[in-house]
Amino acid sequence: MPVELRQLTVLGHQVRAAVRSGTGDRPPLLLCNGIGASLDLLQPFVDELDPAITVVRFDVPGVGGSPNPRLPYNFALLAHGVGVMMTQLGFSTYDVLGISWGGGLAQQLAFQQPCRVRRVVLVSTATGSLMVPASPRVLRKMVTPRRYRDADYAIDVAAELYGGRMRERPDDVRRLMHDGSRVGSRRGYLLQLLAGAGWSSLPALPFIRQETLILAGDDDPIIPLVNAKIMSRLMPRARLHVYGDGHLGLITSADELAPLIADFLDVK
């Protein structure tokens, strides 16, 4: 399916967005990416997703093709900006999928825009500052964007950081995270880290009323599986699916997860 790239002005900031128009009439699916990752990273998932679904991707300010923001932001402000972006694109309601850091944004959107967000998919994500953390060795590697800038380093740390299929094929990280992806600035990466500092969705989870599908890998060093189990118990309309892969399962197991997600979004 053809993808239209757009450059939008949202709250005074330039934002790169990509829209794949679907053949069906259901609400579009908005994808919220992980920290430091451009919208290009999710192309393997989009390729596997039912062509009936319209898909919207975007680069957070300071990431990929979106220039640095002038000022720091938090999840609440970013969620407001995303709502403005979706209005500019002509979508009044939408489904949202968030992976890793983007899962925090997806939770914020569901809570902040309950009349616009229809269904929620949370992948390889947790509740922010109040969560069961990764090991200190993993966290030390997460605070730097080096894995996006240095392909050899990304291969060296792929197994330890991402687990799952990356333990057997760490060289795949070069293709997934470097070939065709756009790297943002160091400042943009830092501002993403700051946006999540002190933020937690934990108190709000019982008030998120949308039907929610939580997807978690059984070998995810960045987000331990117990976090997904906690979320599924606190969210009134959530269900949990555990898949046999790691943190990047949405990409490396796209052939398995994309049909599952499409079925969930298709439920009337």
Contacts from 140-145 at CB under 8 Å and sequence distance 24+?
A: 142/35, 142/222, 143/193, 144/189, 145/36, 145/183, 145/184, 145/186, 145/189
Active site residue 100: yes
Distance CA 196, CA 126 (A): 12
Tokens in use for 81? 């900006």
Q: Which helix (H) or strand (E) holds 112?
A: helix 101-112
Distance CA 127, CA 106 (A): 11
Residue 71: burial class (beta carbons within 10 Å; 0-12, 13-18, 19+): exposed
66, 100, 232, 253: the active-site residue: 100
Answer yes or no: are the C-beta atoms of 86 and 21 closer than 8 Å. no
Tokens in use for 9? 């002005």
**Of 68, 73, 138, nearest in space to 100 by CA:** 138
Q: What is the set of active-site residues?
A: 100
